[in-house]
Amino acid sequence: MTLIKYSIAAGAVAIIAALTFILLTRYDPTQPYFSSHSYWFAKTADLKDVKRSITPRLSTELAEKGMNLNDPVFLRIFKEEAALEVWKQQGSQYQLFKTYEICSYSGKLGPKLKEGDKQAPEGFYRVSSNQLNPHSVNHLAFNIGFPNSYDRANNRTGSFLMVHGNCLSAGCYAMTDAHMEEIYLLVETAQKGGQRSVPTHIFPFRMTETNMIKHASSEWVPFWENLQEGYSWFEESRTPPRISVSNKSYTFN
């Protein structure tokens, strides 16, 4: 009887410890934990079923715009507008295919600085095939590649920063499951078509002069001015720039 009591007590302690860990590391009062799209109801997608049900419709939508599922893609994310854009290459330039609403992201405007700050990153990243996770508990996901060389040069830390489904964020960009299925399929198929990695540019907002003035009091203006260079490059050329890091800043060519 004593052994049974000890076992029950040990089990209760383990459950309390697990719940405490989740609350300390994952809980964010701004997130929809108790909605049908939440951490508690997370589920892994059946990728074969996703492809079977979505590919015909997605192919038709692309064809209506003169695009092909295998064509290279380019992603842009805007925090303030809660928007993720998917662009498709047509000839030497990219054209906008679709804009998806971001269901949830955590933190505020500004970059991610350190592990555990629950801040969604800003900057220039690339997604290769080994960053795709079809088995994610958050209904498909891909790692954006944080920290990149810029982040490391500026001593910024963090890991497992994703774009994923399930509409719940603890530093990631979370989509509805339906939107994530399309985005994942577009990225994966482009890579299978020969694109080595997908450029993924993440901005605090659309970096127009009007918006820069609107946010002129922010401590992050110098960082955002650097991001604006890359934003403007694409706006003018409709081609993602080649990006490198020099003196702890992004450079473009």
Asked if residue 123 lies in contact with residue 202, where contact means CB atoms within 8 angstroms, the answer is yes
Asked if residue 87 lies in contact with residue 76, where contact means CB atoms within 8 angstroms, the answer is yes
State the pLDDT confidence band at 81, using cuts at 50, 70 and 90. very high
**pLDDT of 135 over the 80 cut:** yes
Residues in the chain: 253
* Mean of pLDDT values over 16-32: 50
Q: How far apart are CA 202 and CA 196, in angstroms?
A: 19
- Sequence-distant (6+) residues with CB within 8 A of 14 are none
Candidates 164, 167, 179, 201; catalytic one: 164
Taking the alpha carbons of 99, 44, 114, 247 in that order, is the dihedral positive or negative?
negative
**pLDDT of 62 over the 80 cut:** yes
CB count within 10 Å of CB 185 equals 18
135 catalytic, yes or no?
A: no
Q: Identify the pLDDT of residue 17.
A: 65
**Burial of 181 (C-beta count, 10 Å sphere; 0-12/13-18/19+):** buried
Read out DSSP for 101-163?
Answer: E--EE-S-SS---STTS-PPP-EEEEEEGGGEETT-TBTSEEE---S-HHHHHTT------EE
164 catalytic, yes or no?
A: yes
The better pLDDT of the pair 5, 203 is held by 203
Q: Identify the pLDDT of residue 1.
A: 60
**pLDDT of 7 over the 80 cut:** no
* Residue located via tokens 């969604």: 120
* Mean of pLDDT values over 173-184: 96
Candidates 37, 103, 139, 172; catalytic one: 172
pTM, whole model, 2 decimals? Answer: 0.85
Q: How far apart are CA 146 and CA 165, in angstroms?
A: 18
CA nearest to 110, candidates 123, 99, 100: 123
